[in-house]
Amino acid sequence: MDGEDGMNGETVMRNLPNGDTIRQVCLAVHDIDRAMAQSTLLGIGPWQVHDFGPPWVRDLTFRGQPLRTPAKLALAGSGELSFEFAPPGDEANIYTEHWNARGEGFHHLGYRARIRRRWRWSICLLRHR
Sign for the CA dihedral angle at 123, 30, 36, 12 comes to: negative
Domains, the chain, with CATH or none: 24-125 (3.10.180.10)
pLDDT on residue 29: 93
pLDDT on residue 15: 62
Residue 125, φ and ψ in degrees, nearest 5: -90, 125
Query: Do the beta carbons of residue 122 and residue 16 sit within 8 Å?
Result: no
To 5 degrees, how large is the angle CA 18–CA 22–CA 25? Answer: 140
| pLDDT tens, the chain, 129 aa long | 333 444 444 444 556 666 667 788 899 999 999 999 999 998 899 999 988 876 677 788 888 988 888 888 999 988 888 999 998 888 888 888 888 888 898 888 887 665 555 555 555 554 443
pTM: 0.72
d(CA 129, CA 119): 31
